[in-house]
Structure 1
Amino acid sequence: MSSHQTIDRIGPILYFRGYDDDGMRLAVMIVQSQDLPAPAQISTASAQVFPACIQTVSGLNFWRYDFVLAVEEGGYRLGDDWHAVVTDLSGDLRLGFVSCNGEENGDLDRESDERNVMWSRLARDHAEAPFALLLQGGDQVYADEATKDHPLSEDWPEHAPDDPDPGALADLRRHLQDRFAERYMRVLSASACAGIFATVPTLCIWDDHDICDGWGSLPRELTESQVGQAVFSVARQMYLLFQHGGTEADIPDLFWDPTGQNLGWQYQLPGLTIFAPDLRSERGRNNVMGPAGWKAVEALQPKDGHTIMVSSVPLLGPRLSLLESVMMAIPRMQHYEDDLRDQWQSHAHRAEWRRMLTEVLRLRDSGPVTVVSGEIHLATRAEMAPSDLLVNQLVASGISHRAPPRAYARALGLFAGLGEAPLPGHPIRIKPLPGQKHRYIAERNFLTLQRRSGRWSAQWSLEDSGVTPALPLD
């Protein structure tokens, strides 16, 4: 059993549902012990909204409010508390981007002020100049330790029993639900970020640690085992509830594939298209996405303005296939194979990588495209040329995950100097952040994207180096 203090209530957590002539469509979630009474109604200038309990799991009720805020309303009231929300998305606009909110081992034991220092800075930025949306690019929780302390999953992912007892498997599902719920409740209740979640609508895409380290790049006999499928199904249930405020029944309304095989999504705002392919649900050792994901990507048609792609794994990267070949030739380095298989640049995914880059260039015909990504616990950027079809990639990774050694970042930067050109005539170059000398920065960080007078720019907030100069994006 966990020795951590039980969190019996979190919220409000605000989720973006769309934007149209009526205003901003939103959902608010409050998660609390099923022993507590139903939460208060939400009041807006035009409506009174009562919560509906969409699911009960792990002793928790998930209460959701669905409503629309007109541009002039500017927020909502829950009980005695007023929560201001940016409701006009048609002019100047600020978006936040974060990823990697945790660590693989001992994350729940970290001291909150140290763990959430960059969340505190993000909250101060929001207080000074409000964000309209918060994009979360993967690894919103690190669930790797959720499998511990159960006999069926204690050795996961190194081993999974061939034919577990049905009763033990049902007990494992309950165990995983409790452990996933505990992690989400503790992470989302942190005072440093609670105000952000209550006032900035969020859009999330998951990555491997929201399931388990390396999900999809692990051997198939593990991921397709009964234990592996139990891990995935519980992770998916909790991802839908905590990161989207939804259940399986909401999938046709929230994601681009109504069958739920791929949980990617897209939204159209004035002058902006945002989309995020799901790079985990259909992933296998030899593919990043399956038919459902590719069908949705190939159907994308931005209306006008700028396009932002959220890729949980960096799309523009160095020649990791070369590094993969070298490491696989060294027996003691072969345990890193799953990490390298996770990347678009892996030998196993190179044809699929070219396919996605080709789709991005098709989108680029409609206007500027910016890829935002996390996953590597470093800050960096990249460009895919030529200049008349330039695609920018911005990597902000490690809102709370501590940075790797600077020597690692320097070595990766030297390796990136080799360059890469998977598509002829479209070389990829890893470049330093504005104001920095090195290609990769080993500091915790988050990203701000800003549209001012119709022009987009980006700035990184770095833990030690501060805020970078603005990088023009169009």
Structure 2
Amino acid sequence: MSADYQYDGATHSTAQPVSQPQQYDGPSNGVAPVASQIEVMCGPLINYQHTNYNASQITWHGSVLIVTKPTDAHPRLEYGPAGARVDQTNVEGLKLYQDPWKAFWRFSLEIPLSDAETLWTYNIPGIRYLSDVHGKDRGRSFFVPGVNDSMRIMFHSCNGFSVGTDEEFWSGPALWNDVLRTHEKRPFHVMIGGGDQIYNDGVRVNGPLKPWTDIKTPHKRRAFPFDNKMRTDCDEYYFQNYVRWYSTEPFASANAAIPQVNIWDDHDIIDGFGSYTDHFMRCAVFRGIGGVSFKYYSLFQHHTAPPVSTFTTDAPQTMKAGADGTAEADPRQTEGCYVHQRTADDPNWIVGRKPGPYVEERSRSLYMRLGKRIAFCGIDARTERTRKQVNYPETYELIFDRLEREITAANGDIKHLILLLGVPIAYPRLAWLENIFTSPLMAPVRLLNKRFGVAGGLFNQFDGNIDLLDDLDDHYTARHHKDERRDLIVKLQALSQKYMVRVTILGGDVHLAALGRFYSNEMHTDSAEHDPRYMANIISSAITNKPPPKPVANLLARRNKIHHLKDGNTDETLLNLFNEQPGGMVKAAANNKCTMPSRNYACITEIPEHTTYANGQTNGPATGSQAIPVEDTSLTGKARPHHGGKDKGRHPLHDGEVNAGTNHPAADGVSNQGSMTGGLNVSIRVEIDNSNREGHTQGYGLTIPKLTPVNV
């Protein structure tokens, strides 16, 4: 069997299984079959892992995952540059997990980068798809960047539907059609999932947790056991939900063609996980589904082996986490199962020092290079989350230590750091709404709800609090998180200043599009090109779930004040990005230019330093099906950026924000042209008409400048 990982130049061999697979009587139809033919239940799914820049040969690392029925056969994958018939690499599948009903196989890819962007193909011979989703296309392809290029990035979040949403009315995951069209014009090298890649909330409505949520008394719900039977039922629910969703087109085709990088959020577990009251979050059912969801998050979204067993109340050895996670294996859970035992952490992980309070595992934040000049860090903001904390202080120390080491080792090559958070951090405040929901004035309403069911839709089914309160508590701008938020922002600005690296933040969760910015206040006169406090927060959500009602988006726009960070140097506000309604379809009030309640995703493309413009040679055509035209990026005098004064922040802060919106060169989602070389072109692609299953979008663009010293 092939080695599992290479880390710090050392190869770590695979370990022995917990127990060998065996047949046993299944839950309904007798002995589980072990097929000699490889029958695929889900996949292929392709992930990006990391690129090794610390060697003479710069190598891209990724993986492909398939889920099969148990088999005596051993699948293998062939891959190579497109069109190269003899230059093929064969990789044996590494079995990550198998039980009597399913098996997960990972194929590790190692690709030496060449001077130019390259199309690679892969194929898994000898397999039979059990659904029609992938049967038409046995060969797959993906792009890797040139050795001196930065990656082209697609960012999305909230890729699923909340319970009770009319999925037909919203045309299913239609925007993935637009993602694939954009990918065809100029390929994406990586697809970043900002959380809620799947919605598992139905487990409490039509799944095995329904009897639990039907219990009327919160005290009885807290005391309800999570035994092995409930764990098994939840395990089956989460697995089947992943298979269904990850096999749904056109999302399935994107999964096979654009390498993924993901962090999770609450809906990957269950709505509001981590943000309910502490005494309720510590109940057995929440801890149990925390473990089950982590298992399938590890397998489907990270292509890594899960824990050997998870929490149940009838196996005392699983009920208290050890230093590395669930303390001991439960023999009932490992019976008839194989669980691959990793010998080293993934090199792209930043592993927390201790398990989370409600998930019996350590957090796994991410670091990797997205090509030559872009570094990426995704913070796992769910494993350690409580109502009053997003992450442990020591986790931030680990993250910033890793960032400093990696940026230093890059010897000045890294110009941008993209930080992924599950929720926005530069966003309008709703403290007044928090105050209402937690006010003593709500006590009589809560009592009437408990006794007579009055205002039932206002209260959640878990801890009996206001249903929106967990969403508000999720936000960095919530009062519980203010100090943690300020400290994170100040640390990012210090990192930016020390290493002259521009920090850009990605955030999702809120089901609308917006563009927040932090920047130096009016006491500082430097323009944003030279301002290490300038950090854009690209807010892109949701790619699939329905947007909030127009009044909610309009209310948020009215709350778009200029906020002053307590550091005394930093202000923040949203950019007026949405200069017109998408495709003429009215989504928000005419005076709302900063929050867009329509489904969306984002594209990020570097403007290369050597790009020239309309009167000279261009950087070359796109590698997809059509060339990218050279735009005129000149700025009109009357639209010049506004660099100071009391209204700083309400106007463009730099040249890249001038004419932001549909008329900006970056709006098309594919352009790498612009006046700010070394900057990042950003396009938020907004759905025009949710009744159109083709998922057509309108683009809104701006450019984020690289950070340059004042004297340059």
| TM-score, normalisation: structure 2 | 0.62
Residue number among 140, 147, 152 corresponding to 2:197 in the alignment: 140
Residue number among 452, 457, 465 corresponding to 2:607 in the alignment: 452
| Residue aligning to 1:4 | none
- Deviation, 1:316, is 1.1
Instruction: Mark the CA change 1:149 to 1:195 in structure 2 (over 3 Å): closer, same or farther.
Output: closer
| Residue aligning to 1:229 | 287
Is residue 514 of structure 2 the alignment partner of residue 413 of structure 1? no
Is residue 195 of structure 2 the alignment partner of residue 101 of structure 1? no
| Residue aligning to 2:131 | none
C-alpha contact (below 8 Å) 2:172/2:544 kept by paired residues = yes
| Residue aligning to 1:309 | 419
Q: Secondary structure of the equivalent of 2:417?
A: strand
C-alpha contact (below 8 Å) 1:420/1:428 kept by paired residues = yes
| Residue aligning to 2:693 | none
Taking the aligned partners of 1:305 and 1:154, their CA distance within structure 2 comes to: 49
| Residue aligning to 1:55 | 97
- Deviation, 1:452, is 2.3
- Deviation, 1:349, is 1.2
Taking the aligned partners of 2:222 and 2:556, their CA distance within structure 1 comes to: 40
The C-alpha deviation readout for 1:395-434, integer Å capped at 9, x for no partner, is: 0001100111112101111012363534322011012225
The answer to which of 90-99 and 402-411 deviates more is 90-99
| Residue aligning to 2:177 | 120
C-alpha contact (below 8 Å) 1:433/1:468 kept by paired residues = no
Q: Secondary structure of the equivalent of 1:213?
A: coil
- Deviation, 1:150, is 4.2
Residue number among 427, 435, 458 corresponding to 1:325 in the alignment: 435
Q: Secondary structure of the equivalent of 2:149?
A: coil
Is residue 471 of structure 2 the alignment partner of residue 378 of structure 1? no
Residue number among 338, 346, 350 corresponding to 1:256 in the alignment: 350
C-alpha contact (below 8 Å) 1:305/1:368 kept by paired residues = yes
Taking the aligned partners of 1:213 and 1:138, their CA distance within structure 2 comes to: 12
C-alpha contact (below 8 Å) 1:33/1:59 kept by paired residues = yes
Instruction: Mark the CA change 1:210 to 1:392 in structure 2 (over 3 Å): closer, same or farther.
Output: same
Taking the aligned partners of 2:492 and 2:516, their CA distance within structure 1 comes to: 14
Instruction: Mark the CA change 1:328 to 1:62 in structure 2 (over 3 Å): closer, same or farther.
Output: same
C-alpha contact (below 8 Å) 1:261/1:292 kept by paired residues = no
Q: Secondary structure of the equivalent of 1:326?
A: helix
| TM-score, normalisation: structure 1 | 0.91
Name the amino acid aligned to 1:74.
L
Q: Secondary structure of the equivalent of 1:351?
A: helix
Taking the aligned partners of 2:703 and 2:570, their CA distance within structure 1 comes to: 20
Instruction: Mark the CA change 1:164 to 1:421 in structure 2 (over 3 Å): closer, same or farther.
Output: closer
In the TM superposition, 1:37-116 aligns within 5 A as: 38-44=74-80, 45=87, 47-57=89-99, 59-72=101-114, 74-78=119-123, 79=125, 81-88=139-146, 90-91=148-149, 93-106=151-164, 110-111=167-168, 114-116=171-173
| Residue aligning to 2:45 | 13
Name the amino acid aligned to 2:107.
Y
* Identity across matched positions, percent: 22
Residue number among 227, 235, 238 corresponding to 1:169 in the alignment: 227
Instruction: Mark the CA change 1:160 to 1:206 in structure 2 (over 3 Å): closer, same or farther.
Output: farther
Taking the aligned partners of 2:79 and 2:364, their CA distance within structure 1 comes to: 31
C-alpha contact (below 8 Å) 2:428/2:559 kept by paired residues = yes
Structure whose CA Rg is larger: 2
Residue number among 290, 312, 315 corresponding to 2:392 in the alignment: 290
Instruction: Mark the CA change 1:226 to 1:363 in structure 2 (over 3 Å): closer, same or farther.
Output: same
Taking the aligned partners of 2:72 and 2:272, their CA distance within structure 1 comes to: 37
| Residue aligning to 2:67 | 31
The answer to which of 179-188 and 434-443 deviates more is 434-443
Give the RMSD, CA atoms, in angstroms: 2.6
In the TM superposition, 1:297-446 aligns within 5 A as: 297-299=399-401, 300-301=403-404, 302=407, 303=410, 304-329=414-439, 330-331=441-442, 335=466, 336-365=468-497, 366=499, 367-386=501-520, 387=528, 388-389=531-532, 390-417=534-561, 419-433=563-577, 435-436=579-580, 438-446=593-601
Taking the aligned partners of 2:421 and 2:285, their CA distance within structure 1 comes to: 28
- Deviation, 1:325, is 1.8
Q: Secondary structure of the equivalent of 1:295?
A: helix
Name the amino acid aligned to 2:511.
H
Name the amino acid aligned to 1:30.
I
- Deviation, 1:383, is 0.8
In the TM superposition, 1:151-230 aligns within 5 A as: 153-155=212-214, 161=221, 169-230=227-288
Is residue 378 of structure 2 the alignment partner of residue 266 of structure 1? no
- Deviation, 1:271, is 0.9
Name the amino acid aligned to 1:321.
A
C-alpha contact (below 8 Å) 1:383/1:428 kept by paired residues = yes
Taking the aligned partners of 1:159 and 1:122, their CA distance within structure 2 comes to: 46
C-alpha contact (below 8 Å) 2:213/2:221 kept by paired residues = no
Taking the aligned partners of 2:155 and 2:222, their CA distance within structure 1 comes to: 41
- Deviation, 1:352, is 0.8
The C-alpha deviation readout for 1:111-143, integer Å capped at 9, x for no partner, is: 498111101110111111100000000011111
Q: Which of the two has greater helix per residue? A: 1
Name the amino acid aligned to 2:701.
A
Instruction: Mark the CA change 1:153 to 1:133 in structure 2 (over 3 Å): closer, same or farther.
Output: same
The C-alpha deviation readout for 1:59-106, integer Å capped at 9, x for no partner, is: 221111012012246313213514132242632531000000112215
- Deviation, 1:14, is 0.8
C-alpha contact (below 8 Å) 2:420/2:505 kept by paired residues = yes
Taking the aligned partners of 1:155 and 1:391, their CA distance within structure 2 comes to: 45
Q: Secondary structure of the equivalent of 2:243?
A: helix
Instruction: Mark the CA change 1:431 to 1:43 in structure 2 (over 3 Å): closer, same or farther.
Output: closer
Q: Secondary structure of the equivalent of 1:470?
A: strand
Taking the aligned partners of 1:60 and 1:110, their CA distance within structure 2 comes to: 29
Instruction: Mark the CA change 1:55 to 1:160 in structure 2 (over 3 Å): closer, same or farther.
Output: farther
| Residue aligning to 2:208 | 149
Instruction: Mark the CA change 1:292 to 1:315 in structure 2 (over 3 Å): closer, same or farther.
Output: same
The C-alpha deviation readout for 1:141-180, integer Å capped at 9, x for no partner, is: 1111224334763348956645556xx6111111111111
The C-alpha deviation readout for 1:337-388, integer Å capped at 9, x for no partner, is: 2221111111111111111111221222122111011000000011111231
Taking the aligned partners of 2:396 and 2:150, their CA distance within structure 1 comes to: 33
Instruction: Mark the CA change 1:459 to 1:337 in structure 2 (over 3 Å): closer, same or farther.
Output: same
Taking the aligned partners of 2:551 and 2:71, their CA distance within structure 1 comes to: 51
Q: Secondary structure of the equivalent of 1:242?
A: helix
Is residue 389 of structure 2 the alignment partner of residue 245 of structure 1? no
Is residue 683 of structure 2 the alignment partner of residue 462 of structure 1? no
Instruction: Mark the CA change 1:292 to 1:182 in structure 2 (over 3 Å): closer, same or farther.
Output: farther
Structure 2 unmatched runs, 5+: 1-26, 28-38, 81-86, 126-137, 307-340, 354-360, 446-457, 459-464, 521-527, 581-591, 609-677, 690-696, 706-712
Taking the aligned partners of 2:266 and 2:394, their CA distance within structure 1 comes to: 19
Structure 1 unmatched runs, 5+: 2-6
